[in-house]
A and B are shown apart, each in its own frame.
Chain A
Amino acid sequence: MKPVDLARKLRREAAFKPAALDRGKETLMAVIQQEVEPRRRPTVIPQLPYADIRAALSFLERAFGFREIPATRLEGADGVVHHALIEFGDSVIGIGTQGAHGAVSPQRGGIESQFLSVAVADVAAHYQRARAAGARIAREPRGRGAEAHAYEAFDPEGHRWRFVHQRLREVPRP
Chain B
Amino acid sequence: MSSPSDAEVIGRSLGDPEAFGLIYDRHAAALLRFLGRRAGAKIAEGLVGELFRIAFERRKTFDASRASALPWLYGIGSNLLLKHRRGEARRLRASARMAADGERADRRAGAAALDARLLFPRVANAIEALPDDEREALLLFAWEELPYQSVAEALDLPIGTVRSRLNRARARLRELLEPKGKGRVRSQ
Instruction: Let me know if A32 and B32 touch, CB within 8 A.
Output: no
Interface flags for A100-142 (1: CB within 8 Å of B; 0: not) read: 0000000000000000000000101101110010000000000
Which B residues are in CB contact (< 8 Å) with A36? 17-18
Query: How far does the Cβ of B80 sit from chain A's closest Cβ, in whole Å?
Result: 8
Query: How far does the Cβ of A6 sit from chain B's closest Cβ, in whole Å?
Result: 5
- Judged by a CB distance under 8 angstroms, whether A20 is at the interface is yes
- Tally of chain A residues near chain B (CB < 8 A): 37
- Interface SS majority for chain B: helix
- Judged by a CB distance under 8 angstroms, whether A26 is at the interface is yes
- Judged by a CB distance under 8 angstroms, whether B157 is at the interface is no
Instruction: Let me know if A3 and B173 touch, CB within 8 A.
Output: yes
Query: How far does the Cβ of B57 sit from chain A's closest Cβ, in whole Å?
Result: 7
Interface flags for A1-25 (1: CB within 8 Å of B; 0: not) read: 1111011111111111100110111
Instruction: Let me know if A4 and B28 touch, CB within 8 A.
Output: no
Instruction: Let me know if A16 and B32 touch, CB within 8 A.
Output: yes
- Judged by a CB distance under 8 angstroms, whether B11 is at the interface is no
Instruction: Let me know if A25 and B98 touch, CB within 8 A.
Output: no
| A12 to B40 CA separation, bound complex (whole angstroms) | 9
Which A residues are in CB contact (< 8 Å) with B28? 21, 24-25
Instruction: Let me know if A10 and B92 touch, CB within 8 A.
Output: yes
| A169 to B63 CA separation, bound complex (whole angstroms) | 40
- Judged by a CB distance under 8 angstroms, whether A31 is at the interface is yes
Interface flags for B1-32 (1: CB within 8 Å of A; 0: not) read: 00000000000000001101100110011001
- Judged by a CB distance under 8 angstroms, whether A168 is at the interface is no
Which B residues are in CB contact (< 8 Å) with A2? 170
| A147 to B45 CA separation, bound complex (whole angstroms) | 20
Interface flags for B87-103 (1: CB within 8 Å of A; 0: not) read: 00001100110110000
Which A residues are in CB contact (< 8 Å) with B142? 4, 7-8, 11
Which A residues are in CB contact (< 8 Å) with B91? 12
Give the segment of B47-55, B68-76, B146-154 that binds chain A.
B47-55
| A65 to B99 CA separation, bound complex (whole angstroms) | 40
A11 touches which one: B43, B120, B143 (CB < 8 A)?
B143
Instruction: Let me know if B48 and A20 touch, CB within 8 A.
Output: yes
| A70 to B124 CA separation, bound complex (whole angstroms) | 48
| A77 to B164 CA separation, bound complex (whole angstroms) | 50
- Judged by a CB distance under 8 angstroms, whether B86 is at the interface is no
Instruction: Let me know if B41 and A8 touch, CB within 8 A.
Output: no
| A113 to B57 CA separation, bound complex (whole angstroms) | 34
A residues touching B (Cβ–Cβ < 8 Å)?
Answer: 1-4, 6-17, 20-21, 23-29, 31-32, 35-36, 65, 122, 124-125, 127-129, 132
The 10 closest A-B pairs by CB, nearest first: A27-B49, A14-B36, A3-B173, A24-B49, A24-B48, A14-B41, A3-B170, A7-B142, A28-B52, A10-B95
B residues touching A (Cβ–Cβ < 8 Å)?
Answer: 17-18, 20-21, 24-25, 28-29, 32-33, 36-37, 40-41, 43-53, 56-57, 83, 91-92, 95-96, 98-99, 120, 123-124, 127, 138-139, 141-143, 169-171, 173-174, 176-177
Q: List 18 A–B pairs whose Cβ atoms lie within 8 Å, in order of A's numbering.
A: A9-B120, A10-B96, A10-B123, A12-B91, A12-B98, A13-B36, A14-B40, A20-B32, A20-B44, A24-B32, A27-B50, A27-B53, A32-B20, A32-B21, A32-B56, A124-B46, A125-B49, A132-B83
A2-B170, A9-B123, A124-B45 provided; 4 other pairs, C-beta below 8 A?
Answer: A7-B143, A13-B36, A125-B46, A125-B49
